[in-house]
Structure 1
Amino acid sequence: MEFVVVIPARYASTRLPGKPLADICGKPMIQHVYEKAVASGASQVYVATDHQTVFDAVKKFTDNVLMTREDHQSGTERLAEVVEQLKLESDTIVVNVQGDEPLLASENVSQVAMLLADSDAPMATLSTSIDEIDDIFNPNCVKVINDADNNALYFSRSPIPYHRDAMMNDDKDKLNLADFARHIGIYAYRAGFIKDYIELPESRLELLESLEQLRVLYHGHKIKIAKALSAPQAGVDTPEDLARVIAVLGN
């Protein structure tokens, strides 16, 4: 099975400006992500950026770098431009890997690609267990529930499923962590569907939750989902996150 990986790498970041170029043990962060993606067995791995400085830095370790527009409102829109630039066939499997995950598990990349290849869904993603009760209530921890056929039913920043007895009685001890799953922000798409997606009207749900994948469900399309083979490490959003990653990769 062949698949292509695209790594969006925006230069701008409120909490960590120039994030893709942050030095981690002598390499820019985006190079660590690129190398992990290559290790997944992808037929090609591309970095898509909107900034010349990032473009020039990536050129030092691969020619597979694309300059994209600055006005994209989402990662999927940037992905659609990449599909057009590369002239990918509509049935090509494209995996979108976040550019701020230098501890990316390569096996999760190949897993989500295979998950899509073995289904009739136009899109696939992964989830993982929730280990802390507080994460159930943390809006930055996106929860997901699926149906009996492992298609996503809904994604939310709120606790789902809603445990009526525990919530109404404010009794966290009644909550069973096994009832909850955290969404991992890695997606596989069929290239043709990426073009279709950006033509879909925005949904009220995605605006309320600030979760663009809800547009797919709202318009009746399936998202296949499975538990990740490897529990994902947290990405880099802050200087503290960067220091943690440096400590891990420096050992």
Structure 2
Amino acid sequence: MSTGFKVVIPARYGSTRLPGKPLLDIAGKPMIVHVCERALEADAEQVVVATDDQRIFAAVGDLGLQAVMTDPNHQSGTERIAEVARIMGWADEQIVVNLQGDEPLIPPGYIRDAALALAGQDQAGIATLAAKILDVEEIFNPNAVKVVLDKNGYALYFSRAAIPWNRSTFPDQHDIASSSLPHLRHIGMYAYTVGFLQRYCSWSVSQLEGVESLEQLRILWHGEPVLVRIVDKTPEAGVDTEEDLNRVSRRLLSGWPTKS
């Protein structure tokens, strides 16, 4: 599989808590521009913003970056990326990384890690990331998605529950430091082949996906493998609220390292 990869950044204008989020100013630039810069720093061969809003399309184009207008009726960013791949005429074996448009602090190395992990094997059409959980409260937090792997690094299951469940120490004792089997938090970045993307978008929502509200369970439901690369730590949170916006602005203005 080729090691060259492209990055597509889904970006919608609508947001319940932060309307127009992709265009909000962070340290003198629209947020979507910071995200594009992370992708370029990862050495992506092409970076495309996938949007359904003319304001985002125009702003990205004015800054010399590439954007594609997509169907406003898509139910997920994955569907939006699949449309970009069709518009661009990318080959089935082309690797595409899905980078969320509200992640201006994502380490560029993580983008590259996901793409290279997928390129380095031939069993899965999708790769994602995970990091070891160091805070015991995180294990029991349903907003932190956990993943359990097989011996070869492919996902056995994703869940909002505390998996794997340590029968000896849970729920009253939480000695994760001495656990022989680390708990892993899933990091929601994906690298896909275009062929996999098209298959995925043809599948209906699975029962597991509906119960856990985790889109990635659709893949396991249909019997396809998901490769998981373990990275050093969970990246800093993205931008969902005004508080997040202020936090990220402070980090970037303080000289947050954007090379990794």
**TM-score scaled to structure 2, two decimals?**
0.92
The answer to whether residue 237 in structure 2 is matched with residue 234 in structure 1 is yes
Tell me if structure 1 keeps the 8 A contact 2:33–2:60: yes
What corresponds to 1:10 in structure 2?
A: 12
**Structure 1 unaligned spans of 5+:** none
What corresponds to 1:29 in structure 2?
A: 31
What corresponds to 1:188 in structure 2?
A: 191
Q: What letter matches 1:2 in structure 2? A: G
Indicate the SS of the match to 2:218.
helix
Out of 78, 83, 86, which is 1:84 matched to?
Answer: 86
Indicate the SS of the match to 2:251.
helix
Tell me if structure 2 keeps the 8 A contact 1:163–1:175: no
CA shift digits 1:11-69 (9 cap, x unpaired): 11111111111110110000000001001111100000111111111112234100111
Q: What letter matches 1:52 in structure 2? A: Q
**Structure 2 unaligned spans of 5+:** 255-260
Out of 207, 219, 241, which is 1:204 matched to?
Answer: 207
Residues 87-102 of structure 1: pairs in structure 2 closer than 5 A: 87-102=89-104
Distance in 1 (alpha carbons) for counterparts of 2:202 and 2:185 = 28
Give the Å deviation of 1:166. Answer: 2.7
Indicate the SS of the match to 1:66.
strand
CA-atom RMSD in angstroms: 1.3
Aligned residues with identical type, % of pairs = 50
Distance in 2 (alpha carbons) for counterparts of 1:74 and 1:171 = 38
Distance in 2 (alpha carbons) for counterparts of 1:42 and 1:210 = 30
The answer to whether residue 243 in structure 2 is matched with residue 217 in structure 1 is no
Residues 46-195 of structure 1: pairs in structure 2 closer than 5 A: 46-120=48-122, 121-167=124-170, 170-176=171-177, 179-195=182-198
**TM-score scaled to structure 1, two decimals?**
0.95
Q: What letter matches 2:44 in structure 1? A: A
Give the Å deviation of 1:231. Answer: 4.1
Distance in 2 (alpha carbons) for counterparts of 1:207 and 1:230 = 28
Q: What letter matches 2:33 in structure 1? A: Q
Indicate the SS of the match to 1:208.
helix
When residues 42 and 230 of structure 1 are mapped into structure 2, their CA distance, relative to the original with a 3 A threshold, is: farther
Distance in 2 (alpha carbons) for counterparts of 1:155 and 1:219 = 14
Tell me if structure 2 keeps the 8 A contact 1:126–1:226: yes
Q: What letter matches 2:247 in structure 1? A: R
Indicate the SS of the match to 1:42.
coil
Give the Å deviation of 1:229. Answer: 4.9
Indicate the SS of the match to 2:174.
helix
CA shift digits 1:141-176 (9 cap, x unpaired): 111110001001111111111122333xx3133444
Give the Å deviation of 1:234. Answer: 1.0
Indicate the SS of the match to 2:168.
helix
Tell me if structure 2 keeps the 8 A contact 1:95–1:187: yes
Distance in 2 (alpha carbons) for counterparts of 1:173 and 1:7 = 38
Distance in 2 (alpha carbons) for counterparts of 1:74 and 1:212 = 9
CA shift digits 1:171-206 (9 cap, x unpaired): 133444762111011100000110011112221000
Report which stretch shifted further, 21-30 or 171-180: 171-180
Aligned length: 249
